[in-house]
Structure 1
Amino acid sequence: MEACAPAQLERVIWVPVRHHSPAAARAVRALIARHHPEAVLIEGPSEFTAFDQLDLDHRLPIAIMTWVRYVLEGRERQAHALYPLTVFSAEWQALVTARAQGAATAFIDLPWADLVAMRLGLSADADAAPPGEEDAAASLGDVEPGPDFFASLAVRVGREDASAVWDEFFEIDPIVDPDTYLTRASLLGEGVRLSSAEADEPENRAREAHMARCIASTLRTTTGPVVVVTGAFHTSGLQALLAGRGPGTPLPTPVDLPGRVDGTALVPTDYAALDARRGYLAGQPSPGFYHRVFEAGPDRDADVVPALFTEAVSALRARDVPLSPADAIAAMTTAKALAQLRGHARMWRDDLVDGITGAVVKDDLDDDHPLLQVVLTSLRGDRVGHLAAGTDVPPLVTEVRRHWDELGLPHPPTLTPTTLDLDSPHDRAVSRLLHALRILDVPAAVAPADLPSRLTSRTRIDGSERWALVWDQQVETALIHASRWGGSLEQAVTATLEYRARLGGAATLAGVLTDAVRAGLHDVSGRLGVALRDLVATSDDLGELGAVVEALVRLVYFDTWLGAVGRVDLADLTRFVHERATAVVERLSPMAEGPHLPAAVAAVRTLAETTVTLGAALGLDADAVAGALRRQTEHPPGAPAHDAEFAGALIGAGWLLSGDPGAALEARMSDPAETGRFYSGLLAVAGHLAIASPQIFTAADDALRSWDDASFLAALPDLRRALHALSGRERASLLGYLTGDDTLPSPLSVDAATLVSLARREAHVVEAVATWTGVPV
């Protein structure tokens, strides 16, 4: 870029800041008031120009959300970032003070969409997977300096953490004047820049080039002072660019974003999110504490730490948590001593935390001490932002509000149960709306309980859904966040589902397909079904295929109310997946024990149960399944065999299909260590048949009588696991068969007094375990 004239640069008042710093916020406010600038330029999303929206009476913290949607490899994608604003943010104070004085204001950072395009271009150059699409907000936070820089500062201040070093130079002494602030901040920013390898990275260079162009353009159109508020890291880089001393290498070329749509919106946030450092420039821990520091102002006598500690002690006593006066005095005395040793003009948050840790917290409690937890919560703060009435919101928010009201849904401030009758067209429409909001992670309703885990033709399904509804600020906030996916509800839900569909395999895609049906997006579910078929055609993962069969059966056989039953495409897909799972079973290599085994056992159960109970309705090939199972259970002596648990599952599946467990049971009794595992697999698949055929345990009973103690103990854990899977009625049937007493035992009858006594004894045991182990139970 062309260098600015020296006379133009003399009009610039550079204000390097740390984002969310009370000292920086006070310095910005004072410097703007002193210089009465014609324009104030701020590091922030330059695509946001609706400054009249920021003039409304919002309750901070809020954030500017900037987003972009585009098409890549035939799929719509999105990326977004958040720029939080708090009362102690330098950016916020710059905006408020400048606009109060009538100065022109503008954000000058590189637009988020352009940054995404650059990242995609860089990843393509590196032949890597394209970045830029994220579930959570992207982070562009403060640059990390090299380790040697703060290590050298530690010699002077005794602190190596970046936040602690900033506090030592700027925050703890509240009477740092603006000129001293500028000197220190400029030097610190330059030191960070010189020690960091990130100064020459393309992303930072692109951002600084854009900021420099904005500054130069403003200098050409103004004659008065111009205040520039940017992160301290960027200040010297911008000065060099405007003076014509920029790097000679060209910037990378951003890629074109096909179908690019971008936008911005204001969204509420809270101090919990800031403390967790979620979102762009949210890198200030303990926001509640710094809010108090900012409100206290430049007054050494306005020491916020003692007040905070007093509040914490009062909060503990209100909860009936004991804290002795001796411990409270010891904590505060230690904190004061640490502040004096560290040369602090007033006690600081680190002094208090370290004082409590050193004087009160015991080794066995560590960071879980109630006093420390309350203090840390107070440091974080519980402030929640709120947008002012009349704030522009994205179209998605307006659409959902309208649908909600048209359906006559209430706006309860707390979760309120409601039951939908899916036989009613009105309630089906409500169900589709609630499922759509659930897909978008909008907490307007708690999702209903799903269908029973094991589905057969005899499963009884009622036509009702039970939800809990709520409409509060979190709902409105989540709707604004969700608007980045699309301008309408259908567009946003479709984009979200298609994004989720790319994250996993066939089982994930089957779940996404189910959500599409429940949200009433039949065109979307059709496209997802085609994609699922392609994935299944190449999958050899038996566990995954079993999960897909189960998900599809739920749709094509049980989801009468949501329009899936009778869909030829879904029925054809179910048969195709069933055939693929059968083919995988037929050519399975010996299955070994491992983390994959439970899913494989469940898949064998699903395959057999679906064949037996729904084969006629869905046109499934029972002979092919029976043949595949038979070939897997018949292998020559000495040949590699399946793990005992999986072998039991295969025999259980054959039992379901033929009604005969076969003669393979006795062969499994030779190794006591495998007997329990074998029955675990068998009963996991066909345990309910034990009522009609308890003789399957004869072989195990005979073996048990012949085992010595060592063999019995080896088999016992897995035998207990196997029998645990049986229902009470199934256990009773087995007990009657083994004892020769076919009279079922009477139900257990326990009077109320005994139950109370047992509950007290249980509570005592739990408390004792927690005390002795130090682990909450």
Structure 2
Amino acid sequence: MPLLLGIRHHGPGSARAVRAALEARQPRALLVEGPPEADGIVALAGDEAMRPPVALLAHALDEPGRAAFWPLAAFSPEWVAIRWALAYGVPVRFIDLPAAHALALAGEGGDARTSEDDGKPGREDPEDGAAQGDGEALRVDPLAALAEAAGYDDAERWWEDVIEHREARAGSDPYAPFAVLGEAMAALREKHGSEGIQPADEAGGGHRRDRDQVREAHMRLRLRDAVREFGPGDVAVVCGAWHVPALAAKAKVADDRQSLRGLPKVKAEITWVPWTHRRLARRSGYGAGITSPGWYEHLFASPDRVVERWMTKVARLLRAEDYGISSAHVIEAVRLADSLAAMRGRPLAGLTETVDATRAVMCEGSDVPLALVRDKLVVGEVLGEVPEGAPAVPLQRDLARQQRTLRLKPEASERELELDLRKETDSARSRLLHRLRLLDIDWAVPARARTGSTGTFRESWRLCWEPELSVRTAEAGVWGTTVEGAATAKAVSRATEATVLAEVTALAESCLLAELPDALRVVMRALADRAALDADVGRLAEALPALVRSLRYGNVRGTDSAALTEVALGLAERVCVGLPPACSGLDADGAARMRDRIDAVHQSMALLAQACAEPSGVPAGTSTVPGRRAAGDAAGGVQSRWRGVLRKLASRDRIPGLVRGRCVRLLLDDAQLAQAEAGRLMGLALSPGTSPPEAAAWIEGFLAGGGMLLVHDERLLALVDGWLSSVPGEAFTDVLPLLRRTFAGFDSGVRRTVGELVRRGGLSTAADAGGAHNGPGGAGSSLPPLRPVRPGFGYGLDEARADAVLPTLRLLLGQAVRADHTTEQEEAPL
């Protein structure tokens, strides 16, 4: 009889038992549950460069996005069996349903299996019980059923006690564990076997086909072929324990062949790809997963003193994170874990006991460091490796080559990457990462730069390699054989299909960041066409920021962006012309959206003038000074015109208060509006003739983004305080939500300071401040005349206190600071 080794996928106890059984039987052929297409690449598992966890990846040739994984870890019984067979020269064959059929069946159900679904199309596991396929069915968990029968409430703990910790109880018979597990599965199948998943086969006239039975029929056929070739006693089968009774049962060959007749089929390719422990965890969505792959790897690799070695790992991790862990902590944690196991009647301390002991001794009862232990050790951040000879699409090979050249090794753990675009290597890294984002291969995502500025020489990225990115890479291979070629082709396709102006401007920005000149020419033509035809000011305002960022980044990277400058200037002119009419008659939601657009356009105007004033990366010897000067003059004119638009919006009564207040604040922050004029406009907005909701909206627009202005300018604070005190009681309920939303955006220190100023009293009223009509220090004002102050300083500047910091500034800056607060440089420019 063939040796049927029923295992738990990714079970270290099963892995050790499989190795012992193979050593005892020494079969001449090994059959493993998996796609037969992998027979041609199974030899790569013996390569020294192959480091688990890895996975077999199969995808449809014409539709790479339809893919499936078969993950294997170092402690997976299948992996141990394969490595044993390759070491002894024993042929390995996979006997599960071919991936060509499995992918086609998944596609019929409208659900192509990926790592986020089952990981193995139609594959069942001892812990899952029913074949994982399409359709709705009752799932039976054999481990949970056996654990419940044994009086356990946790299937994982039962498995540890019965298999992981009591393996030696099998005595000298290496086959006993498999015989017992096979009998248990036979009893469970007899009770639950008829409740498997029954997906409808739409291609077969609507009849129903048990996918579980189809898979097992194919396994029996492959098993018969091996038995005829090598003999029944020389064949070993490693498969999920749930399948063992079906393989041992007698079935007619004609019935098995009939079950496979007429199955749909697609052309499929298969290869090895890296996998991660995080993706083996059940919480990641992989159906055949386990809760603690890092712990299981430790169980499999540790020859003795499992708990002591584990606690040593925990101590090393916590010490690296600056936790004060001593050897005494390790000793006490081991003792506590052993004591807990004895109290709970367990043969040895398992994961539950080690976690409880770690929390109590090393983490002092806190779950914060314990979460770190779970992520780094219990689950783990291991990323496997595959040899270069593994089959791959050309795009994958080009990506791997660039990763090696740029020293960007894929890692399972998340890490930050800071790039200085003035360095050649960092600039090349930036190009690669932006091109991958164009291809929807999100290996790296932009992070918030430490400088917090836009258009600088620095970029921040957050990198984390996930196994499904291998599928994305294969899917992106339809666009080209290299990263640059594929990104160019996809950008051109998106430019021709885009219908919204903002999409095209964002695409232009991406092409500049990725340095794709061929694609940029096509995108610019599409951008000019869309901008000329689009008359919606809102969409133009949304498109301008991305366009200006593109212009700014183009300058940073030393690329010529003259065409982009021309389009950006034209778009800015159209925004200036069309914005005032577009702001009239807006409701509350429309005013809020328009305020956000005005903020973005305001920043873009300043960047546009700055970008046009800087030299672009035109090749040396090319005369561009007149064109650059003209662009700079045009940008300066647009910025002046934009400020005029803000003044117009700030003074029109038909404009919503939210927009008017925001325009006043933008002009005040840019020193384009005098403090007295700002007070006058606020006084008008808060006058008794203005409805309280409209006045509250004006305040919200004016104070959005921070309330330090109220801290440093008592006149404006007095205006707000006086208006709020005069709001009638019946209107206060309507005003309060707007004010709460406004002041909730302030920092806690600002809110506390403003409250303290109001509590102390002594604030001048709006009339006393004279801001509404006479201006500060004018007729009718109780305040003393104001001294002239520089832009950016509030009312009542204490010059004596300001002078006190000058000696320190001299030391820090190496400059002679004159008494009039200007600086005269003594040495070379800083």
Give me the whole-angstrom Cα distance separating, in 1, the residues matched to 2:294 and 2:373: 13
Question: What pairs up with 1:142-153 in 2 under 5 angstroms?
Answer: 142=125, 144-145=128-129, 146=139, 153=146
Say if 2:512 and 2:554, in contact at 8 Å, map to a contact too: no
Query: What amino acid is the match of 1:602?
Result: D
Aligned residue among 146, 166, 176 for 1:173: 166
Aligned residue among 640, 660, 666 for 2:684: 666
Is 1:294–2:300 an aligned residue pair? yes
Give me the whole-angstrom Cα distance separating, in 2, the residues matched to 1:373 and 1:623: 55
Q: How far 1:19 moved relative to its partner? A: 1.2
1:103 paired residue number: 90
Of structures 1 and 2, the larger Rg is shown by: 2
2:825 paired residue number: none
1:566 paired residue number: 563
Task: Give deviations 1:232-282, integer Å, cap 9, x for gaps.
Answer: 2344455669557779999996586xxx77442343x45455447658576
Q: TM-score, normalised by structure 2?
A: 0.63
Q: How far 1:709 moved relative to its partner? A: 9.7
Say if 1:67 and 1:484, in contact at 8 Å, map to a contact too: no
Question: What pairs up with 1:23-38 in 2 under 5 angstroms?
Answer: 23-38=13-28
Aligned residue among 538, 546, 554 for 1:551: 546
Give me the whole-angstrom Cα distance separating, in 2, the residues matched to 1:592 and 1:109: 58
Q: Which of the pair has the greater relative contact order for Cα pairs under 8 Å at 6+ separation?
A: 1
Give me the whole-angstrom Cα distance separating, in 2, the residues matched to 1:167 and 1:429: 49
Say if 1:81 and 1:138, in contact at 8 Å, map to a contact too: yes
Evaluate the alpha carbon distance shift between residue 254 and residue 699 of structure 1 in structure 2; reply closer, same or farther with a 3 A threshold. Answer: farther
Evaluate the alpha carbon distance shift between residue 232 and residue 665 of structure 1 in structure 2; reply closer, same or farther with a 3 A threshold. Answer: farther
2:180 paired residue number: 184
Evaluate the alpha carbon distance shift between residue 135 and residue 29 of structure 1 in structure 2; reply closer, same or farther with a 3 A threshold. Answer: closer
Q: TM-score, normalised by structure 1?
A: 0.66
SS at match of 2:563: coil
Is 1:161–2:154 an aligned residue pair? yes
Query: What amino acid is the match of 1:743?
Result: V
Is 1:704–2:721 an aligned residue pair? yes
Query: What amino acid is the match of 2:37?
Result: E
SS at match of 2:598: helix
Say if 2:67 and 2:471, in contact at 8 Å, map to a contact too: no
Q: How far 1:24 moved relative to its partner? A: 1.4
Say if 2:11 and 2:77, in contact at 8 Å, map to a contact too: yes
> Where in structure 2 are there 5+ consecutive unaligned residues?
130-138, 202-208, 610-630, 751-770, 778-782, 791-796, 809-830
Give me the whole-angstrom Cα distance separating, in 2, the residues matched to 1:512 and 1:526: 12
2:510 paired residue number: 515
Segment of structure 1 superposing worse, 489-498 or 557-566: 489-498
Q: How far 1:68 moved relative to its partner? A: 2.9
SS at match of 2:661: helix
Task: Give deviations 1:359-388, integer Å, cap 9, x for gaps.
Answer: 8877xx442356x85587544456554446
Say if 1:648 and 1:678, in contact at 8 Å, map to a contact too: yes
Give me the whole-angstrom Cα distance separating, in 1, the residues matched to 2:568 and 2:586: 30
1:345 paired residue number: 347
1:648 paired residue number: 661
Say if 1:18 and 1:232, in contact at 8 Å, map to a contact too: yes
Q: How far 1:20 moved relative to its partner? A: 1.4
1:759 paired residue number: none
1:219 paired residue number: 224
Aligned residue among 229, 239, 252 for 1:230: 239
Say if 2:395 and 2:483, in contact at 8 Å, map to a contact too: yes
1:13 paired residue number: 3
SS at match of 1:222: helix
Give me the whole-angstrom Cα distance separating, in 2, the residues matched to 1:187 and 1:569: 78
Segment of structure 1 superposing worse, 601-610 or 611-620: 611-620
Give me the whole-angstrom Cα distance separating, in 1, the residues matched to 2:581 and 2:788: 42
SS at match of 2:290: coil
Query: What amino acid is the match of 1:54?
Result: A
* Root-mean-square deviation (Å): 6.3
Q: How far 1:105 moved relative to its partner? A: 0.9
Evaluate the alpha carbon distance shift between residue 65 and residue 625 of structure 1 in structure 2; reply closer, same or farther with a 3 A threshold. Answer: farther
Evaluate the alpha carbon distance shift between residue 529 and residue 399 of structure 1 in structure 2; reply closer, same or farther with a 3 A threshold. Answer: same
Give me the whole-angstrom Cα distance separating, in 1, the residues matched to 2:682 and 2:701: 14
1:764 paired residue number: none
Query: What amino acid is the match of 1:33?
Result: E
Give me the whole-angstrom Cα distance separating, in 2, the residues matched to 1:332 and 1:419: 48
Q: How far 1:90 moved relative to its partner? A: 0.6
Give me the whole-angstrom Cα distance separating, in 2, the residues matched to 1:534 and 1:242: 69
Say if 2:54 and 2:386, in contact at 8 Å, map to a contact too: no
Percent pairwise identity: 22
Query: What amino acid is the match of 1:488?
Result: T
Give me the whole-angstrom Cα distance separating, in 2, the residues matched to 1:720 and 1:316: 38
Q: How far 1:53 moved relative to its partner? A: 1.5
Evaluate the alpha carbon distance shift between residue 574 and residue 368 of structure 1 in structure 2; reply closer, same or farther with a 3 A threshold. Answer: same
Evaluate the alpha carbon distance shift between residue 237 and residue 582 of structure 1 in structure 2; reply closer, same or farther with a 3 A threshold. Answer: farther
Give me the whole-angstrom Cα distance separating, in 2, the residues matched to 1:500 and 1:532: 12
1:41 paired residue number: 31
Question: What pairs up with 1:373-522 in 2 under 5 angstroms?
Answer: 374=373, 377-380=376-379, 385-387=384-386, 395-396=394-395, 398-400=397-399, 419-421=420-422, 432-433=431-432, 435-436=434-435, 465-466=457-458, 482=473, 485-486=476-477, 487-490=481-484, 493=487, 511=506, 513-521=508-516
Say if 1:647 and 1:681, in contact at 8 Å, map to a contact too: yes
Query: What amino acid is the match of 1:37?
Result: P
Q: How far 1:207 moved relative to its partner? A: 6.8
Query: What amino acid is the match of 1:163?
Result: E
1:775 paired residue number: none
Say if 1:272 and 1:380, in contact at 8 Å, map to a contact too: yes
Query: What amino acid is the match of 2:239?
Result: T
Give me the whole-angstrom Cα distance separating, in 1, the residues matched to 2:393 and 2:305: 43
Task: Give deviations 1:535-566, integer Å, cap 9, x for gaps.
Answer: 99999999887543311232357635445541
1:209 paired residue number: 214
1:121 paired residue number: 108
Give me the whole-angstrom Cα distance separating, in 1, the residues matched to 2:264 and 2:585: 49
1:757 paired residue number: none
1:86 paired residue number: 73
SS at match of 1:16: strand
Evaluate the alpha carbon distance shift between residue 216 and residue 568 of structure 1 in structure 2; reply closer, same or farther with a 3 A threshold. Answer: farther
2:815 paired residue number: none
Say if 1:88 and 1:294, in contact at 8 Å, map to a contact too: yes
Query: What amino acid is the match of 2:311?
Result: F
Say if 1:58 and 1:386, in contact at 8 Å, map to a contact too: yes
Aligned residue among 579, 583, 604 for 2:598: 604
Task: Give deviations 1:735-755, integer Å, cap 9, x for gaps.
Answer: 9999723235455866999xx
Task: Give deviations 1:711-769, integer Å, cap 9, x for gaps.
Answer: 9997598369589999xxxxxxx99999723235455866999xxxxxxxxxxxxxxxx
Say if 2:295 and 2:378, in contact at 8 Å, map to a contact too: yes
Evaluate the alpha carbon distance shift between residue 183 and residue 541 of structure 1 in structure 2; reply closer, same or farther with a 3 A threshold. Answer: farther
Is 1:55–2:46 an aligned residue pair? yes
Evaluate the alpha carbon distance shift between residue 115 and residue 646 of structure 1 in structure 2; reply closer, same or farther with a 3 A threshold. Answer: farther
Aligned residue among 320, 335, 338 for 1:336: 338
Give me the whole-angstrom Cα distance separating, in 1, the residues matched to 2:553 and 2:324: 55
Q: How far 1:591 moved relative to its partner? A: 2.0
Give me the whole-angstrom Cα distance separating, in 2, the residues matched to 1:78 and 1:410: 28
Q: How far 1:173 moved relative to its partner? A: 0.5
Give me the whole-angstrom Cα distance separating, in 2, the residues matched to 1:530 and 1:96: 57
Evaluate the alpha carbon distance shift between residue 645 and residue 341 of structure 1 in structure 2; reply closer, same or farther with a 3 A threshold. Answer: same
Aligned residue among 698, 701, 722 for 1:681: 701
Give me the whole-angstrom Cα distance separating, in 2, the residues matched to 1:275 and 1:82: 14
Evaluate the alpha carbon distance shift between residue 749 and residue 29 of structure 1 in structure 2; reply closer, same or farther with a 3 A threshold. Answer: farther
Give me the whole-angstrom Cα distance separating, in 2, the residues matched to 1:66 and 1:545: 45
